[in-house]
Amino acid sequence: MPAHAATAVSCANIAFIKYWGNTDEALRLPANASLSMNLAGVETETTVTFVDNLAADEVFIGGAAQSGTPYDRVVGNLDLIRERAGLRAFARVESKNNFPAGAGIASSASAFAALSVAGAAAAGLKLTEAELSALARRGSGSAARSVPGGFVEWGPGQPGQPDSSFGVSIAPPGYWDLVDVIAVISQKHKIVGSTGGHALAGTSPLQAARVGSVPDRLERCRAALLARDFDHFAEVVEADSNIMHAVMMTSAPPLFYWEPITLAIIKAVRRWRAEGLPVCYSIDAGPNVHCLCPGEHAAEVERRLRENLDANRLLVARPGGPARLLG
């Protein structure tokens, strides 16, 4: 077999309604449905090359050869691709992010979306978007949401059915000019990454109540998004972020992803909105604060954040497209 190669690019995403905890850890079937926006320009680019004479898979991220858990997770997805394609060859995987990894921007989401799209193409598979999304999910849950474009809803699927849980675009990137001004607080790697964190979700006495309250918030969030109603959107997005962190802080052991500056920005954003600036926050499994606002207010949000951030920095992203093959 000759070498077969493909390259794909995928955006990170920010969840408005969060994913936290699985009903099936092995299949990564999520405890609840979630809703997100892809982040244009916050990207992973991945090339997968199946090569006849390799002795094992090789994985490079930002040029560095990987081993241990990061390597094993990539091999896990390659195995799923090989199984589906009837392939035996090992692969070389070369991946690079244009944003800092491990600080709460979902690098694993864009990484596994790009890996799945590139890997499937390199293996000669013709998969639907839903199949690619479900494949990406096996590597990192939220990667399911980085495969389709724009605003994406990801359902929990059916027990024991790995292909039943995938992301679906509910609106294209141009539907609403929503901007995510990301206050990047720290580029240190997290003490507990989100895979480890998801496994702790069930230890919180609050997780079941959170999961039970998601459908109501999801419905209100979808409605506010489709109506471009920022006020209602802001309220439900912040409530969902708060409730995920409430579960994190009450798991055993408790997970405090916020830093003091995270809380300072939460309070500042709430004060700015009370004073009339349409902006709200959402925080993933890390200290960064995603400050969401209509496009016409992004410059003012950026200006105010810069005044409060000292040495930290900002990333600005508009709604992004689907994972795509290059060339």
Contact between 90 and a second copy per CB under 8 A = no
Site string (258-297) toward a second copy, x via CB under 8 A: xxxxxxx-xx--x---------------------------
Contact between 5 and a second copy per CB under 8 A = no
Peptide bond into 253 cis (omega under 30): yes
**Token pair for 306:** 């810069």
Contact between 215 and a second copy per CB under 8 A = no
Contact between 238 and a second copy per CB under 8 A = yes
Convert 304-325 to b/e letters by CB count within 10 Å (16 or more is b): bbeeebeebeebbbbbbbbbee
Among residues 123, 142, 194, which one has the least CA distance to residue 10? 142
Q: Of 23, 187, 195, 213, which one interacts with a second copy (CB under 8 A)?
A: 213
Q: Of 41, 196, 205, 215, which one interacts with a second copy (CB under 8 A)?
A: 205
In whole angstroms, what is the distance from residue 136 CA to residue 325 CA? 15
Contact between 308 and a second copy per CB under 8 A = no
| Residue (59 or 268) nearer to a second copy, CB | 268
User: How crowded is residue 286: how many other Cβ atoms within 10 Å of its Cβ?
Assistant: 24
Q: Of 4, 210, 304, 318, which one interacts with a second copy (CB under 8 A)?
A: 210
How many of the chain's residues bind a second copy (CB under 8 A)?
29
| Residue (17 or 152) nearer to a second copy, CB | 17
Q: Of 130, 192, 199, 206, which one interacts with a second copy (CB under 8 A)?
A: 206
- Using CB atoms within 10 Å of the CB of residue 203, give its burial: 0 to 12 exposed, 13 to 18 middle, 19+ buried: middle
**Cβ pair 145, 28 in contact under 8 A:** no
In whole angstroms, what is the distance from residue 126 CA to residue 48 CA? 16
Give the residues lining the site for a second copy (CB under 8 A).
Answer: 205-206, 208-210, 212-213, 238-239, 242-243, 245-247, 249-250, 252, 254, 256, 258-264, 266-267, 270
